[in-house]
Structure 1
Amino acid sequence: MTAPADSRDALAEIIARVVCDVPGVAFLRPGVVDLLRGSTRSTLPRGTTARAGVRLNRPDPATPWHVDVQVVIQRGHRALDVARAVHDAALHAMSEAGPARVTVTVASAV
């Protein structure tokens, strides 16, 4: 059984807000799925939710959450430092939801 979509959406929103507050993050990178909001539910694998730049997946309650965050950073900031800070912020935001694996991708810099 998967987590309810509304709880996944709420977690994705929390992560998005926390990540946007990390110094050096310009914005979350929207993917094609995010741009085509109307087709989100039909194109994502079961147990997955996405918000602009945040994808959350947990196909089975016995497995850890997988959080994928894609950010665009501000020029002048080191990508590695920002990625680590985003990772830590997302992991901390997920602490009450259960175990999680967080992947951060720095898509570009502006």
Structure 2
Amino acid sequence: MVTTFRTTALTEVAAEAALAVPGVAGLQPRLAQRLAAAAAPTRTDTTSHRAPPPEAAVRADRAPDGSGWRIEVRCVLTEDRRALDIAQDVHDRVAFAAASHLTALGDVERVTVEVTVTRIAGRRDVA
């Protein structure tokens, strides 16, 4: 239970940090999450049309060898800056935010971050 709570909190921290980077248009859920959402029973209220939460595009789990945390961030970028520069900024901010979060919990562990750019949105795609 504590690990699940810690993982959920870590994904939220990572999503928030990634979305704060200039040039990040949004976060994109993994295909499995998108398929699961599409297969879910449709609801008649307005919540059925909401986008998945940003943390759905972030995966955090323990490294298999127990050496710390692995975080994967899947993001959509704008074409305002070079994709490499934006991805590096996402990596650095997420790594810092995650390490700070874990340290505040008394859990000083290594954090490895992987950033995947899923697409680059044109100016008219972002609005």
Query: For the superposition of Structure 1 and Structure 2, which TM-score range results when normalised by the shorter chain?
Result: 0.7 to 0.9
Residues 72 and 113 of structure 2 are in contact (CA less than 8 Å); yes or no, is this contact kept in structure 1? yes
Residue segments in structure 2 that go unaligned for 5+ positions in a row = 38-54, 103-108, 122-127
Could you tell me which amino acid in structure 2 is paired with residue 19 of structure 1? A
1:57/1:65 contact within 8 Å kept: yes
CA RMSD of aligned residues (A): 2.4
Q: In the aligned structure 2, how far is the partner of 1:106 from the partner of 1:87?
A: 11
User: Which aligned pairs between 1:1-110 and structure 2 lie closer than 5 A?
Assistant: 4-35=3-34, 36=36, 51-58=55-62, 62-96=66-100, 97=102, 98-110=109-121
SS in 2 for 1:107: strand
Following TM superposition, by how much is the alpha carbon of 1:32 offset from its aligned partner in structure 2, in angstroms? 2.4
Shift of 1:34: 2.7
Deviation at 1:7, TM superposition (A): 1.1
Q: Is the 8 A contact 1:3 1:61 kept in 2?
A: no
Structure 1 unaligned blocks of 5 or more: 38-50
Q: Which structure has the highest helix share of the two? A: 2
Runs (4 or more) in structure 1 with deviation over 3 Å come to 59-62
Q: Report SS of the residue matched to 1:52.
A: helix
TM-score by length of 2: 0.68
**Number of positions where the alignment pairs a residue of Structure 1 with one of Structure 2:** 98
Which string of whole-angstrom CA distances, capped at 9 and with x for unpartnered residues, describes residues 49-96 of structure 1?
Answer: xx3221111056831211111110012221100000000011001113
